[in-house]
Structure 1
Amino acid sequence: MDAFRKILDDVDEVDLTPMIDVTFLLLIYFMVTTMLVQPESQLSFQLPGKPQSSDSVTPMESAKINSMSDGTITLNGSPIPVDDPYELTQLINNLTNTRKLRDGLIQTGQKSKEEAELKVEIETDGLSDHQTFVSILNACSAADIDKVSLMIP
């Protein structure tokens, strides 16, 4: 009987200390990495529908952005330098300056808010990178542009 009690007393317990250490390391890792990731901007945009002949937009009232499969981006036909595909600073600056000019037309009373609102048309070919498209949408959001439409190539 004493031998049986000795066996029961020698039962090993599971040490939880290493598992707790690993759990805290994973928690710290995920907290640090989630703070480094920038969230994508929220954009509301309209998908292209039937063209309306009565709402013809003059070229000065819209900005057309093309994204090619080779990574080039053009704004109204002129190429935009792409240093970093995640941050299109030149595109943001161009769109912001255009929007500020239109805001000046509204303030001086030369145009109404509806007439001076900047409309952006994005056209991408089927082989262009999806990240470039998302970066263009983020650039529009950073330039505080609400009217974004997608063009069918």
Structure 2
Amino acid sequence: MTPMIDVVFLLIIFFLVSSTLAKRETLLDLDLPTAASGRDSQADSTPHVTVNVDASGVVLLAGSPVQPAELLARLRAESERHEEGITVRVRSDRAADYASVEPVLAACAEAEVWNVVFAVYEDKQ
């Protein structure tokens, strides 16, 4: 009985830590663009990877700056780990140039990740 309790406690700790790390990605303070239409991607159950692009053009994955080659390798690894495919959520500051976002899209295409969504604020007009 004791080993089973240990396993349950380890699972609880794992899920607490992983949910905290997942929330950290969306807490990065970015001034996202607005859009008049869209859908809530929180309801989507496919595994996702969040890539942030700040106003200065720095690409962040898991809160750390990454180069395009490293981003490509990590996207490939995640895609191979999940047979059903992954979704890449791009959170880009509205002040970031397209030249900063384009390497993210190129890495997704090269890693054969076709489900890419952009995080935006709802336009309240």
Partner of 1:79: 64
Q: Give the alignment's TM-score, normalised by structure 1.
A: 0.50
The runs of 5 or more residues in structure 2 that have no matched partner are 1-36
The equivalent of 1:17 in structure 2 is none
Report the CA distance shift for 1:52/1:69 in structure 2 as closer, same or farther (over 3 A).
Answer: closer
> Distance in 1 between the 2:51 and 2:99 partners?
15
TM-aligned CA deviation for residue 52 of structure 1: 6.7
User: What is the identity percentage for the equivalent residue pairs of Structure 1 and Structure 2?
Assistant: 18
List alignment gaps of at least 5 residues for structure 1.
1-47, 83-87, 104-115
**3-state SS, counterpart of residue 70 of structure 2:** helix
2:58–2:100 contact (8 Å) kept in structure 1? no
From 50, 58, 69, the equivalent of 1:89 is 69
**What is the CA RMSD across the aligned residues, in angstroms?**
2.1
Larger radius of gyration: 1
Q: Which residue is 1:51 aligned to?
A: 40
Structure 1 position 80, deviation (Å): 3.1
C-alpha spacing 1:52/1:142, structure 2 compared with 1 (3 Å): closer
Map of 1:41 onto structure 2? none
